[in-house]
């Protein structure tokens, strides 16, 4: 009997649970199936199975953090895994099991839950030992702590680490500073993963992601219609996961899915239909989407005829990258990683980026209110609450500021969230839907 590879037990649990969910969905009548959700589940399982295969065969794979430019590693055929994305997805199916285990970790619960889960994943060996770890320094001091802990803990101990040091500026010189580091990152991959870099393969990946982001933008344009052609958060969540965390960047299956969603949006707009036909409230959500967004989205639609038409997760201004030369691609990726990834974009540098994004989001999507979740882990955003209030006053749209944990519904109960939103809607003259 062969010994279990340390860290694979948890991922095998993920694969088994996902398989059961997939089989259950496929067994349902065709009219009850959700092809987008099914695709997402299959992508999750595929990624997890790749990690298991790499652990069993010795193939190279890496652990990475949020927004680490997977275009480069994926172009080199390196499996890229973020353990936090798995934890978040499985919170629902397991009744928040990991959240209760997280409570036992000796780390202050006032710290960002993303960071706490990062510590939790490593101290509990929730993944096998990778070939390397790539950390991107984000606008969060806590992440520096996570990186240090990861270097010294469990399966990550003695794993080679590369950390990108991004500039807080947005000039050409700032982008060149990061692009030069991406050249070093490529050498790091070659040395520690035993793979060769091919600029033409990188070009293929970036060209495909350019197409995908263009399709995403088309979908966003259709969300300007009323009624909105897609439900709250759904499109943003699926696209973000698929392009940044699950399947390799540039996967043509994702492109086809996005075309399908684009066509669905187009058809709904042309027919004048949407998931919320009696739409009366269009919400702009200036933050990342919460892990509890499905429950919130259904309640908003059912009780108030409300829909989140845009958020930081879904409305990120990814620009097309010039693929004519290696230099132009690396400069474009440097910009993408430091100026365009949601949260990283709004949290780095000057507050006017946050202000401009909210202003443009409200105006472009004809939002008639802003709901700010007030994530407890985003201390930077808490500091601009007064500015957000001023922005909404100038836009003549009401603002609801809450205090929540985007990744742990226990912090602020759904009951309180719904009650606060209901009071806010009522105070601004909107009427609750009448139920039969």
SS3 call for 77: coil
Residue 128 lies in a domain: yes
Which own/partner contact pairs does 164-168 have at CB distance under 8 Å and 24+ positions apart?
164/68, 164/134, 164/135, 164/136, 164/137, 164/337, 165/137, 166/136, 166/137, 166/337, 166/338, 166/348, 167/338, 168/348, 168/349
Residue 143 lies in a domain: yes
Mean pLDDT of the chain: 91
Percent of the chain residues past pLDDT 70, beyond the cut: 96
Distance between CA atoms of residues 355 and 139, nearest Å: 17
Q: Is residue 191 pLDDT above 90, yes or no?
A: yes
Site of tokens 């982008």: 175
Look up the domain containing 70 and give its range.
Answer: 60-194
Range in 128-137, 220-229, 406-415 the model is least confident about: 128-137
User: Which pair of tokens denotes residue 111?
Assistant: 């710290």
Residue 144 lies in a domain: yes
Q: What is the pLDDT of residue 372?
A: 95
SS3 call for 65: coil
Q: What is the pLDDT of residue 315?
A: 81
- Angle at which helix 252-271 crosses helix 199-222, to 10 degrees, equals 20
- Number of domains into which the chain is organized: 1
Residues 61 and 78: beta-carbon distance below 8 Å: yes
Residue 78 lies in a domain: yes
Residue 20 lies in a domain: no
Residue 397 lies in a domain: no
Range in 31-35, 52-56, 213-217 the model is least confident about: 31-35
Q: Which residues pair with 310 in a beta bridge?
A: 284
Which residues, including other chains, have CB under 8 Å from residue 115's CB and lie 6 or more apart?
140, 142, 143, 145, 146, 377
Query: pLDDT tens digit string along 305-347?
Result: 999 999 998 887 789 999 999 999 999 999 998 888 888 888 7
Residue 224 lies in a domain: no
Q: What is the dihedral of CA 110, 150, 167, 66, to 10 degrees?
A: -70
Q: Is 367 exposed, middle or buried (0-12, 13-18, 19+ CB in 10 A)?
A: buried
Query: pLDDT tens digit string along 369-385?
Result: 999 999 988 876 777 88
Residue 161 lies in a domain: yes
Q: What is the CATH number of the domain that holds 107?
A: 3.40.50.11890
Q: Is residue 66 pLDDT above 80, yes or no?
A: no
């Amino acid at each position: 009997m062969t010994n279990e590879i340390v860290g694979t037990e948890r991922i095998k649990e993920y694969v088994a649970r996902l398989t059961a969910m997939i089989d259950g969905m496929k067994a349902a009548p065709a009219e009850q199936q959700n092809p987008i959700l099914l695709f997402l589940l299959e992508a999750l399982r595929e990624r997890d199975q790749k990690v298991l295969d790499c652990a069993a065969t010795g193939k190279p794979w890496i652990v990475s953090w949020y927004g680490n430019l997977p275009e480069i590693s994926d172009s080199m055929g390196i499996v890229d895994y973020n353990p936090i994305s798995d934890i978040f997805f499985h919170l629902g199916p397991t009744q928040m099991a990991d959240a209760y285990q997280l409570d036992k970790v000796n780390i202050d619960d006032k710290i960002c839950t993303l960071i706490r889960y990062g510590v939790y994943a490593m101290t509990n060996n929730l993944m096998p030992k990778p070939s390397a770890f790539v950390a991107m320094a984000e606008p969060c001091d806590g992440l520096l702590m996570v990186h240090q802990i990861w270097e010294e803990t469990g399966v990550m101990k003695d794993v080679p680490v590369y950390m990108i040091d991004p500039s807080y500026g947005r000039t050409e010189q700032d982008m060149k500073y990061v692009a030069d580091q991406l050249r070093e990152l490529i050498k790091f991959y070659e040395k520690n993963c035993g793979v060769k870099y091919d600029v033409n393969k990188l070009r293929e990946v970036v060209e495909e992601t350019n197409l995908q982001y263009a399709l995403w933008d088309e979908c966003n344009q259709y969300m300007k219609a009323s009624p909105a052609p897609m439900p709250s958060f759904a499109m943003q969540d699926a696209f973000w996961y698929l392009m940044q965390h699950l399947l390799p960047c540039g996967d043509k299956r994702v492109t086809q899915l996005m075309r399908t969603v684009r066509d669905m949006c187009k058809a709904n707009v042309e027919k004048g239909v949407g998931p919320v036909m009696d739409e009366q409230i269009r919400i702009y959500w200036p933050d990342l989407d919460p892990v509890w967004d499905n429950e919130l989205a259904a309640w908003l639609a059912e009780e108030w005829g409300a829909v989140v038409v845009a958020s930081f997760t879904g409305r990120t201004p990814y620009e097309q990258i010039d693929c004519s030369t290696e230099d132009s691609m690396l400069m474009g990726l440097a910009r993408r990683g430091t100026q365009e990834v949601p949260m990283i974009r709004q949290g780095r540098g000057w507050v006017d980026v946050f202000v401009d994004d909210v202003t443009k989001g409200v105006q472009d999507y004809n939002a008639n209110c802003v709901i700010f979740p007030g994530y407890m882990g985003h201390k930077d955003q808490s500091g601009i609450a007064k500015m957000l209030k001023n922005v909404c006053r100038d836009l003549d749209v009401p603002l609801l500021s809450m205090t929540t944990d985007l990744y742990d519904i226990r912090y602020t109960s759904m009951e309180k969230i719904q009650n606060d939103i209901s009071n806010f809607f009522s105070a601004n003259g909107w009427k609750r839907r009448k139920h039969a």
